[in-house]
Amino acid sequence: MKLDAKIPDGPLEEKWTRYKASQKLVNPANKRKLDIIVVGTGLAGASAAASLGALGFNVDIFCIQDSPRRAHSIAAQGGINAAKNYQNDGDSVERLFRDTVKGGDYRAREANVYRLAEVSGAIIDQCVAQGVPFARDYGGLLENRSFGGAQVSRTFYAKGQTGQQLLLGAYGALSREINRGTVKLHTRREMMDLVVVDGRARGIIVRNLVTGDLERYAAHAVVLATGGYGNLYYLSTNAMNSNGSAAWVCHRKGATFANPCYVQIHPTCIPVHGDYQSKLTLMSESLRNDGRIWVPKKKEDAEAIRAGKLRANDIPEEDRDYYLERRYPAFGNLVPRDVASRAAKERCDAGYGVGTGYAVYLDFADAIQRLGKEAVEQKYGNLFQMYQKITDENPYETPMMIYPAIHYTMGGLWVDYELQTTIPGLFAAGEANFSDHGANRLGASALMQGLADGYFVLPYTLQNYLADQINVGKISSTTSEFDEAEKAVRNRLDRLMKNASLPTSNASLLTVDHFHKALGKIMWEHCGMARNTESLAKAKALVSALESEFWELVFIPGTANEFNPELEKACRLEDYFELAQLVIADALHREESCGGHFRTEHQTEDGETLRDDEHFMYVAAWEYQGHGKPETMEKEPLIYEHIKIANRNYK
Ligand SMILES: Cc1cc2nc3c(=O)[nH]c(=O)nc-3n(C[C@H](O)[C@H](O)[C@H](O)COP(=O)(O)OP(=O)(O)OC[C@H]3O[C@@H](n4cnc5c(N)ncnc54)[C@H](O)[C@@H]3O)c2cc1C
């Protein structure tokens, strides 16, 4: 397959303007005749559906949850970036663009990133117009804070609930369209397959999660906005319902999957505390604006803390190692996530960790002294409360304990400049696509990208595609392609349910969660924060063996024709087994370290990532070849015409 990124001609800063000036349009009377399916109601899906509905297209939107407002986006805490330069601290579109490309370790497509920076300001205007209550200063002006990988304050926020407020804004816009009749909402539906007719995406098969029925929906185009696949690792900061399945079924149908090994590990999460945990909680990156990260300088102090003989506050200032400030004086505690995560791991592996040994301190004592408790509470109050509820420790009095955890996936469906996948008519938005973050996403840039895709990019690019579809007429869902897709889903469910008839007294049967937990452990240990040839080979073999065991021993109670959450989980896990193998294969082939992909064989003397630009400056786009067969890889070369490639240095 030949990849064509369809990057418009012309200077970088004019590409998007030129695209918009020359794209094809659909006239209002024709828009009413064109149907679009949007899967996902997070920030990317809700904003896309609301905007496309407002344009006059017929939109059907789907989500797993009982309300669009329960999409994972609601959990986003810290903020959303935009190059408004309200702080007059030197920000600009150019600087946001450069920070993003550098933050992604020079593995993102220049033209897409520039467009993202260019539309970022409009997102804030749009959200303010919707009534999103961004934080404001005493005079009423919009407030900003800083996030990692930037030396300016460009992050707009609503306390620690930015995602929630943005999603309520998008949901308001969506509800308006639902009321006008341009958007039809389908909740508690899970997309199980993509229907491709004559090479184009023409519909989806969904499972009604309440009744178990399979349903068919046809359209002229399909937009996938189904989020990331971080839950492949079982323990992550993602919502429990987040999954990679919709993207994976499209991959099986021919959509290439790009850079699967670029997985983001967030440095500030509440550490794992036991074997029976099913969820990890993020402590927002915004906390690194005022919190200082440290571990004891002396190993014996760390040991005493771990043994419960000393507490954090017993360690005098001169015996604390603020290792990020020490190693990276220019960016200090605000280095990007991959850098901060590896530094925490390095200290803990060296024996300086606190808590279980896999934790470091995030300390607000200085900030409280400097700003006062009330000011700190105003900025981060809900995060402190959440921390206290989970750990039963008061972070105003004793430092928080944090450790890196799986958080975000930069990999995803390959898309061109128009956000179209390699299947014509199938578009991907938000975290589901691989787009703009290269090998490492900067904090507060996911919300920016999801809303850029939905509010400002798809309304143009989808129209460009649909302009050629006005004569095809209504798409029927009673064709053989729909029959076959539905039949394949039915067979798949039957296969998973095969052990349901076995007596439950059969002690060797195991739950879906048992296998998911085991898969996550393999991936975290052998293909997590650090990888190498040996660990990846081990992961490959272990995942294969676990998958065989899963098919033999998994037990799913009930039937496929009813509400069955165990079956839902099993379907997602089945896909994760294949996806895990692709993540491993991608990590194995990329013989370099970049961003979140850290190959221990490729590092500098002081433990930083060592890229190999000569051989790996490309997007790796993988093509499915059938279950258990190695996928083939196509390269999209990354050509930097505007930006000067450099070593990524935060010192
Ligand atoms: C704890 C946490 C905090 C974060 N904080 C920030 C932050 O402060 N700033 C920032 O920029 N980013 C943040 N992020 C990242 C950001 O929240 C996500 O990347 C972003 O919200 C993803 O939005 P999305 O619209 O792409 O997908 P999601 O919000 O994940 O929505 C996915 C949608 O797809 C639906 N769906 C999934 N599969 C199917 C299927 N098979 N069938 C039907 N529907 C399906 C779901 O029901 C849901 O509606 C944070 C992430 C986490 C985990």
Tell me if 623 is assigned to some domain.
yes
What share of the chain in percent tops pLDDT 70?
Answer: 100
Of 107, 337, 590, 648, which residue is the catalytic one?
337
Q: What is the DSSP string of 581-623?
A: HHHHHHHHH--S-BTTB-BTTSB-TTS-B---HHHH-EEEEEE
Give the pLDDT score at 1: 74
**Residue 647 half-sphere exposure toward CB, CA atoms < 13 A:** 8
Tell me if 109 is assigned to some domain.
no
Question: 511 and 619, same structural domain?
Answer: yes
Tell me if 516 is assigned to some domain.
yes
Residue 531 is a catalytic residue? no
∠384-386-390 over CA atoms, to 5°?
115
- Of 412, 414, 388, 410, the C-alpha closest to 401 is 388
User: What is the average per-residue pLDDT within 1-13?
Assistant: 93
**Domain end point (choices 407, 425, 448):** 407
The answer to whether 587 touches 100, Cβ cutoff 8 Å, is: no
Residue 225: phi, psi to the nearest 5? -135, 60
Is the distance from the beta carbon of residue 595 to the nearest atom of ligand 1 less than 6 Å? Answer: no
Amino acid in the structure at residue 243:
N
Question: 365 and 495, same structural domain?
Answer: no
Question: 531 and 392, same structural domain?
Answer: no
Alpha-helical regions (H) of 253-401? 299-306, 323-327, 337-349, 365-371, 373-391
Alpha-helical regions (H) of 392-528? 446-451, 458-466, 480-496, 512-527
CA 450 / ligand 1 centre spacing (Å)? 9
Tell me if 24 is assigned to some domain.
no
User: What is the average per-residue pLDDT within 383-398?
Assistant: 95
Question: 623 and 503, same structural domain?
Answer: yes
The answer to whether 596 touches 530, Cβ cutoff 8 Å, is: no
Give the pLDDT score at 426: 98
Biggest alpha carbon distance in the chain?
76
The lowest-confidence range among 170-179, 337-346, 471-480, 526-535 is: 337-346
Is the distance from the beta carbon of residue 236 to the nearest atom of ligand 1 less than 6 Å? Answer: no
Tell me if 554 is assigned to some domain.
yes
User: What is the average per-residue pLDDT within 168-185?
Assistant: 98
Q: What is the DSSP string of 449-489?
A: HHHIIIIIIHHHHHHHHHGGGTTS-PPPS-SHHHHHHHHHH
Tens-digit pLDDT profile for residues 603-619: 998 888 999 999 999 99
Question: 633 and 497, same structural domain?
Answer: yes
CA 347 / ligand 1 centre spacing (Å)? 31
| CATH number assigned to the domain comprising residue 339 | 3.90.700.10
| CATH number assigned to the domain comprising residue 622 | 1.20.58.100
Which atom from ligand 1 is nearest to the alpha carbon of 237? 53
Other beta carbons within 10 angstroms of residue 329's beta carbon come to 10
Is the distance from the beta carbon of residue 412 to the nearest atom of ligand 1 less than 6 Å? Answer: no
Give the pLDDT score at 460: 98
Is the distance from the beta carbon of residue 75 to the nearest atom of ligand 1 less than 6 Å? Answer: yes
Question: 272 and 384, same structural domain?
Answer: yes
Residue 275 has pLDDT above 90, yes or no: no
Tell me if 295 is assigned to some domain.
yes
Q: Structurally, how many domains does the chain consist of?
A: 2
Give the pLDDT score at 149: 85
Give the pLDDT score at 504: 65
Residue 371: strand, helix, or coil = helix
Tell me if 93 is assigned to some domain.
no
Tell me if 154 is assigned to some domain.
no
**Domain end point (choices 363, 383, 407):** 407
pTM of the full structure: 0.96
**Domain end point (choices 352, 372, 407):** 407
Burial class (CB in 10 A: 0-12, 13-18, 19+), 129: exposed
Domain that includes residue 387, residue range: 266-407
CA 242 / ligand 1 centre spacing (Å)? 7
Question: 403 and 491, same structural domain?
Answer: no
How does residue 193 score in pLDDT terms, banded at 50, 70 and 90? very high
Helix (H) or strand (E) holding 361: strand 360-363
Tens-digit pLDDT profile for residues 492-520: 999 999 877 776 667 789 999 999 999 99
Specify the residue with its C-alpha closest to ligand 1, atom 20.
73
**C-alpha–C-alpha distance, residues 335 and 291, integer Å:** 13
Give the pLDDT score at 160: 85
Residue 23 has pLDDT above 90, yes or no: yes
Which atom from ligand 1 is nearest to the alpha carbon of 191? 42
Six-digit token pair at 193? Answer: 């397959």
